[in-house]
Structure 1
Amino acid sequence: MTLRFVLDPELTPELREAIVALWVDVTNAGGAVGFVPPVTAADVRRTADPTFAGIAEGPDRLLLGYAGDRLVAALIFCDNRFDLKAHWCVLKRVMVHPDIQGHGYGLALMREAERLGRELGREALHVTLRDGLGLDRFYRRLGYREIGRLPGALRVAPGDDRDEILMWLDLTTPAQAAR
C-alpha cells in the first residue's frame, strides 16, 4: 500500500487528536519526537497545542501521510521566522506509526517532504536527531549530511545525555535534484 499525502489539512479537533495519538504511539515505541516514553496524550498536548498554533496561524506547514483512511505519518515544515533563513526550513516531528515501520513509509514521507520543499521554494531542509538510535544512517541514505553535533544536549534520563545531530539536505545540487 502506498501513502496518500495531504499538505496543510484543516486542523479540526478530530485531526488534532489523531495527530496527538500518533505522537504518543511513536514516542511510546521509542521514537525520538520530543519526549521519552512513557507519555500520555496530556503530556504530548502541552507541546502539540503551540505546535498546532504555528500551523493554523502560520507560517509552519503540516504534511500528513495516510494508509487508506488511517493517519500513519506526519512531519512539520517549520519556518525559521527570520528573513536571513527564509530559503531553508527545519523538519520537525517526523513520525511514522510503529505498526507500519519497515515498509518504506518513512522513505516515502521524506521523499514527499523533499519534493514539497523544492515546490515551496526551499533550497535546503534541516533535521535534528537524537543520537544513539541509528537515525543518522536513515537520513544519510536519503542524501542528508551531518553538519554538526551538540554534545550531550539531550538528557533522556539521569546519566544518559545524548548528542543532538544536525543534518542538512541541499535541494539545489544536481545530484539531489536528479533523485
Structure 2
Amino acid sequence: MNVRFDLDPSVTPELRDDICALWADVSNAGGAVGFLPPVTREDIRPELLKHLTAMAEGRERLLVGRDEDGRILATAFLTFNGHRLMNHWLWVYAVMVHPSLQGQGTGRRLMTAVADAARGFDGITGIRLTCRGGTGISRFYEACGYKEVGRVPGAIKVADDDFRDDITMWLELG
C-alpha cells in the first residue's frame, strides 16, 4: 500500500479521531505504545491531547502517514528537548503503524521520514527513543540504523508478574 508522509498536518477533529483510532488499533493488537489492551479511543484521547498541546506550544511536531483516501495509518511525534545542553537532539514518541501494514515496509519508511524531518530542523544531530523489551521491536529499530545505548531492567510493568526492560535507542544523524 502506498503511504504518503506529511509533517505538521492541520489539527482537525478528523485528525484527532483518526489518531485515536490508530492508537487504539495498535494498542489492542499488542503494540507497545503506552497502553495495554483492551483500550478505547476515549482511553487514549487524554494522552493524545497532551501531544497536541505540546504541538500548539511548539515543543512537538507530528508526522503522519496517510493512504490514498487520507486515512491515517502511521504516526510519530517528534519532541524537542528543552534542556539547554541537550537541544541538539529530539525524542520520538508514539511510533505507530496500523496492524494491517505490519511487515510491509511502512514502518521503515516511517522511520526514514522521521530522520528526514529531524535533519530539516536547525541544529538537530540525533534522535532518541525508548521501546519496551520483550517485544522484539528493538531489532526493528536497529535495522533502521538505531543502536541501543541504554537499558533499565524491569522498568515497565505490563502485569503483576510481567516486568519489561525500558530500552533506549539512538540514531546519529549524518
Q: Is the structural similarity TM-score above 0.5?
A: yes
Structure 1 unmatched runs, 5+: 173-179
Within 5 A, what are the aligned runs for 1:124-163? 124-163=126-165
Q: What percentage of aligned pairs have identical amino acids? A: 47
Q: Which aligned runs of 4 or more in structure 1 are off by greater than 3 angstroms?
A: none
SS at match of 1:110: helix
With the length of structure 2 as denominator, give the TM-score of the two structures: 0.95
Structure 1 residue identity aligned to 2:19: I
The question of whether the paired residues in 1 share the 8 Å contact of 2:155 and 2:163 is answered with: yes
**CA RMSD in angstroms, aligned pairs only:** 1.0
With the length of structure 1 as denominator, give the TM-score of the two structures: 0.93
Structure 2 residue identity aligned to 1:140: E
SS at match of 1:83: coil
Report the Cα distance in structure 1 between the residues aligned to 2:114 and 2:140, rounded to whole angstroms: 15
Task: Determine whether 1:55 maps to 2:55.
Answer: yes
Report the Cα distance in structure 2 between the residues aligned to 1:4 and 1:126, rounded to whole angstroms: 23
Report the Cα distance in structure 2 between the residues aligned to 1:130 and 1:166, rounded to whole angstroms: 9
Report the Cα distance in structure 2 between the residues aligned to 1:153 and 1:12, rounded to whole angstroms: 35
Partner of 2:7: 7
Q: Select the structure that is richer in helix.
A: 1
Structure 1 residue identity aligned to 2:139: R
Deviations 1:40-81 (A, max 9, x none): 111111211111111122220000001212210000001122
Give the Å deviation of 1:120. 1.2
Report the Cα distance in structure 2 between the residues aligned to 1:7 and 1:116, rounded to whole angstroms: 7
The question of whether the paired residues in 2 share the 8 Å contact of 1:61 and 1:77 is answered with: yes
The question of whether the paired residues in 1 share the 8 Å contact of 2:147 and 2:170 is answered with: yes
SS at match of 2:117: helix
Partner of 1:166: 168
Q: How many residues align?
A: 172
